[in-house]
Amino acid sequence: MTYPASVRVLYSLGNEVKVAKLELSRIERLLEALGAPHRGGRYIHVAGTNGKGSTCAMIESGLRAAGWRTGLYTSPHLSEPVERIRIGGIPVAPEEFAAACRQVREAVERLLAGGELDAHPTYVETVTAMAFLLFREARVEVAVLEVGLGGRLDATNVVQPELAVITRVDFDHEAFLGKSLEAIAAEKAGILKPGARALFAPQRPEVGPVLEARAAALGIVPARVSEWEVGDLEVHAFGSRFTARSGNVLHLECPLAGEHQVANALTAAAALELAGVPAGAIERGIRATSWPGRLERVAERPDLFLDGAHNPAGARALAAYIQRFHASKRVWLVYGAMRDKAVAEMAGILAPVAGEVILTAPAQARAVRPEVLRELFDHPRRRTAAGLEEALALLSEAGPQDAVFITGSLFLVGEARARLVQ
């Protein structure tokens, strides 16, 4: 099987969110047929709503700085599916990805023929199984796993982790996870396991008691990021630096833009300390972190940022960043979204901080049409563009001192990154 063929196989399984089946029996049966590649590994498992991907990237970078052979499994990807599975900080080679896909597909066909599966595993279940195979083959010493959707019934929740981390919990995917923060928090808390350590980032008032109750029921005494002391905080347009104290004093430099990344860097530092990583490696790892598509500046004059603010919490973080660092500039907002997102709420958050609004659509069947977005954005200078290329053409009007943000769907950000980053 070639890499393009493997990608076609995955895409033929349907959209990873729309066809999600939140249960674990199918992925567990598939992994057993593959020789249980998920068993016996060392894992740090990370759930949450916003910030979990950035936190995973910083944790993995710190582990690698300490000399560990690392694996990193995240979702979604921006440009290519290989981005989801990284070994030693590098996406797996296309031929390795294809070989793992073939191995999983052959196992699935045997199970289906024997009546041992009710249906073909989903996109996410298939890629998750591939990740465990590739980590075993590469003899990864410790892997960082990002939960894709929820936690309790996410395909990654088949491991016994050494450490379970829960970043800030907010509203997203309510159709799958519940309409209240308490219900969503209960799903996230499903990654907690007896015998595993737990770390909680600061939470909204409705969330904390749910996480604490689940930990208590499992006999876990969680560590809390709120117990760390932050000092000498300096947030600038392209990152932050600060000291973090919990016994040891860490001098942290976070290269990821946005004040919200301070909490993510602090959570990563706390997780790394719990994992036994020396202070120097924590500092080096966080300083060296790369996490594309999250307030990533990809051009200058004008500054052009890509940011996958795909839910209200992400939109609030982006709006706060714009107000803090770009309020004196003419701000261009290029926005596209998917139909399963709280678009009206995000429009209300982002429209007030923009001087010019270009409403477009990623090249996805589930994208909201630009004409529909126009009705949701209350802005005097809003225009529509059928797709990214047309939107980029309109940006020719931006001046060198302006600031441009391409945001909303990660699909749109991925398209833009493939087009703009060589």
Model confidence over 125-147: pLDDT tens digits? 999 999 999 999 999 999 999 99
The length of the chain is 422
- CA 109 and chain centroid, separation: 31
- Is residue 30 within 8 A of residue 242, CB to CB? The reply is no
Domain extent listing, the chain: 3-287, 296-420
Three-point CA angle 405, 407, 409, nearest 5°: 170
- Least Cα distance to 156 among 39, 45, 15, 29 occurs for 45
- pLDDT attached to residue 47: 97
- pLDDT attached to residue 277: 98
- Least Cα distance to 315 among 382, 402, 371, 377 occurs for 377
Alpha helix (H) residue ranges in 203-255: 208-217
- Is residue 49 within 8 A of residue 108, CB to CB? The reply is no
Burial 210-228 (b: 16+ CB within 10 A, else e): bbbebbeeeebebbbbeeb
- Is residue 10 within 8 A of residue 123, CB to CB? The reply is yes
The helix (H) or strand (E) run that includes residue 183 is: helix 181-188
- Is residue 252 within 8 A of residue 271, CB to CB? The reply is no
- pLDDT attached to residue 157: 98
- CA 230 and chain centroid, separation: 25
- Least Cα distance to 334 among 391, 275, 409 occurs for 391
Q: What is the pTM of this model?
A: 0.93
**CA-CA distance, 32 to 42, in Å (whole number)?**
18
- Least Cα distance to 349 among 170, 217, 119, 197 occurs for 170
- Least Cα distance to 142 among 45, 207, 52 occurs for 45
Alpha helix (H) residue ranges in 275-409: 279-287, 312-325, 343-350, 370-376, 388-394
- Least Cα distance to 189 among 177, 176, 205 occurs for 177
Alpha helix (H) residue ranges in 224-259: none
CATH 2.40.430.10 is held by the domain 296-420: no
Q: Please identify every stretch of the chain with a pLDDT value under 70, giving residue numbers as ranges.
A: 15-21, 173-176
Alpha helix (H) residue ranges in 189-242: 208-217
- 34: helix, coil or strand? coil
- Other beta carbons within 10 angstroms of residue 389's beta carbon come to 11
- Least Cα distance to 420 among 401, 404, 409 occurs for 404
- 408: helix, coil or strand? strand
Contacts of 39 (CB under 8 A, 6+ apart): none
- Least Cα distance to 329 among 303, 347, 348, 309 occurs for 303
- Is residue 79 within 8 A of residue 414, CB to CB? The reply is yes
**CA-CA distance, 270 to 46, in Å (whole number)?**
13
Q: Which two structure tokens, joined as six digits, stand for 220?
A: 């876990």
Q: Which fold has domain 3-287?
A: UDP-N-acetylmuramoyl-L-alanine:D-glutamate ligase (3.40.1190)
The helix (H) or strand (E) run that includes residue 308 is: none
Kindly report, residue by residue over 249-262, the tens digit of the pLDDT: 999 999 999 999 99
- pLDDT attached to residue 247: 81
**CA-CA distance, 135 to 71, in Å (whole number)?**
6
